């Protein structure tokens, strides 16, 4: 049997893929016009604003169709039967995406286990987005965060997430260290905040790419902190492997969560597709086997038992 077939068989035997991080509400929204006007090549921060047009125009029904189509295709591919999707909930999308996601959750129950987290794409510190966050946070399975959206006040952003999650008995998933830059130290901040709020074992870092840019001494210190915080990780391999070339000198690495260092230390790692066929990742199809192959190749990580856990049970553990 070929190694890849064996890996696939073991994943199926262990319950199938868990897509631990996705944005199903915007799946299959990439347009030909996004290529014509070069939106697909915009910087991440610009794309955060570009999605506003879709968000403001989308009805509950349209959101439902995108979420449901994403689930249907995940099921059809045969790889995944559970996911945690971030869902926009702010003054632009209002609660339309949330209402649609809750209906999709019910409709797919028994076939597909959909969990949802709030996507705080407008931050949580300004009065308007905060109003939406406070009103609807309790409707989500997991509290989601994006500290960079409240730039300069990232620690405060995380405080809001943690306090809310603690109050509601929810887990927290936070987008951190996305830009593959040694200027970023968000994984360290998240680990420190997890301990400060007594949320050990309840917090997950999504991405943590930039950690790989730092020298070994710093990485080791952060891993130790992450072990103390019992911080878990989600790697979304194709989401950031496309990081652009630049002239800055850093430690040699691939633009991916450094799981080859994390897993042997005992840190829990899961895998996600992140964006599927939208302005962020127009060619991504949500194929979880492709994601896993990118992960194992980009990190030269060949431990089959650990890869199976990353694909299945680790995700199940951290999405609910
Ligand atoms: Zn994301």
Q: In angstroms, what is the span from residue 3 Cα to ligand 1's centroid?
A: 30
Q: What is the pLDDT along the chain (320 residues), one digit of tens a residue?
A: 799 999 999 999 999 999 999 999 999 998 888 777 788 888 888 877 888 888 989 999 999 999 999 999 999 998 799 999 999 999 999 999 999 999 999 999 999 999 999 999 999 999 999 999 999 999 999 999 999 999 999 999 999 999 999 999 999 999 999 999 999 999 999 999 999 999 999 999 999 999 999 999 999 999 999 999 999 999 999 999 999 999 999 999 999 999 999 999 999 999 999 999 998 899 999 999 999 999 999 999 999 999 999 999 999 999 98
Q: In angstroms, what is the span from residue 175 Cα to ligand 1's centroid?
A: 6
Q: In angstroms, what is the span from residue 21 Cα to ligand 1's centroid?
A: 6
Q: In angstroms, what is the span from residue 241 Cα to ligand 1's centroid?
A: 14
Q: In angstroms, what is the span from residue 217 Cα to ligand 1's centroid?
A: 28
Q: In angstroms, what is the span from residue 73 Cα to ligand 1's centroid?
A: 19
**Residues with Cβ–ion distance below 5 A, ligand 1:** 274
Q: In angstroms, what is the span from residue 45 Cα to ligand 1's centroid?
A: 13
Q: In angstroms, what is the span from residue 2 Cα to ligand 1's centroid?
A: 33
Kindly report the three-state secondary structure assignment for every residue of the chain.
CCHHHHHHHHHHHCCCEEEEEECHHHCCCCCHHHHHCCHHHCCHHHHHHHCHHHHHHCCHHHHHHHHHHHHHHHHHHCCEEEEEEEEECECCCECHHHHHHHHHHHHHCCCCEEEEEEECCCCCCCHHHHHHHHHHHHHCCEEEECHHHHCCCHHHHHHHHHHHHHHHCCEEEEEECCCCCCCCCHHHHHHHHHHHCCCCCCEEEEECCHHHHCCHHHHHHHHHHHHHHCCEEEECHHHHCCCCCCCCCCCCCCCCCCHHHHHHHCCCEEECCECCCCCCCCCCCCCHHHHHHHHHHHHCCCCHHHHHHHHCHHHHHHCC
């Amino acid at each position: 049997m070929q190694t890849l077939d064996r890996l696939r068989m073991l994943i199926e035997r262990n319950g199938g893929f868990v897509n631990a991080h996705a944005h199903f509400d915007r799946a299959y929204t990439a347009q030909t016009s996004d290529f014509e006007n070069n939106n697909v090549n915009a910087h991440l921060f610009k794309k955060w604003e570009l999605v506003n047009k879709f968000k403001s125009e989308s009805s509950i029904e349209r959101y439902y169709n995108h979420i449901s189509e994403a689930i249907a295709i995940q099921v059809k591919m045969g790889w995944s039967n559970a996911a945690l999707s971030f869902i926009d909930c702010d003054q632009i999308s209002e609660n339309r995406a949330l209402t649609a996601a809750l209906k999709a959750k019910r409709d797919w129950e028994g076939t597909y286990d959909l969990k949802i987290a709030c996507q705080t794409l407008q931050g949580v510190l300004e009065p308007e987005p905060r109003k939406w966050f406070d009103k609807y946070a309790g409707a989500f399975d997991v509290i989601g965060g994006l500290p960079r959206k409240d730039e300069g006040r990232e620690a405060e952003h995380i405080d809001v997430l943690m306090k809310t999650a603690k109050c509601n008995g929810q887990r927290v998933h936070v987008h951190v260290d996305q830009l593959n830059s040694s200027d970023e130290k968000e994984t360290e901040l998240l680990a420190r905040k997890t301990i400060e709020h007594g949320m050990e074992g309840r917090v997950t870092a999504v991405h943590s790419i930039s950690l790989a840019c730092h020298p070994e001494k710093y990485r080791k210190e952060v891993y130790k902190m992450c072990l103390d915080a019992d911080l878990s990780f989600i790697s979304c391999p194709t989401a950031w492997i496309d990081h652009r070339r630049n002239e800055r000198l850093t430690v040699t690495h691939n633009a991916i969560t450094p799981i080859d260092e994390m897993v042997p230390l005992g840190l829990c790692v899961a895998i996600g597709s992140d964006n599927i066929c939208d302005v962020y990742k127009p060619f991504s199809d949500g194929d979880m086997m492709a994601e896993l192959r990118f992960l194992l190749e980009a990190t030269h990580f060949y431990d089959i038992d650990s890869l199976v856990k990353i694909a299945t049970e680790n995700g199940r553990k951290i999405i609910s």
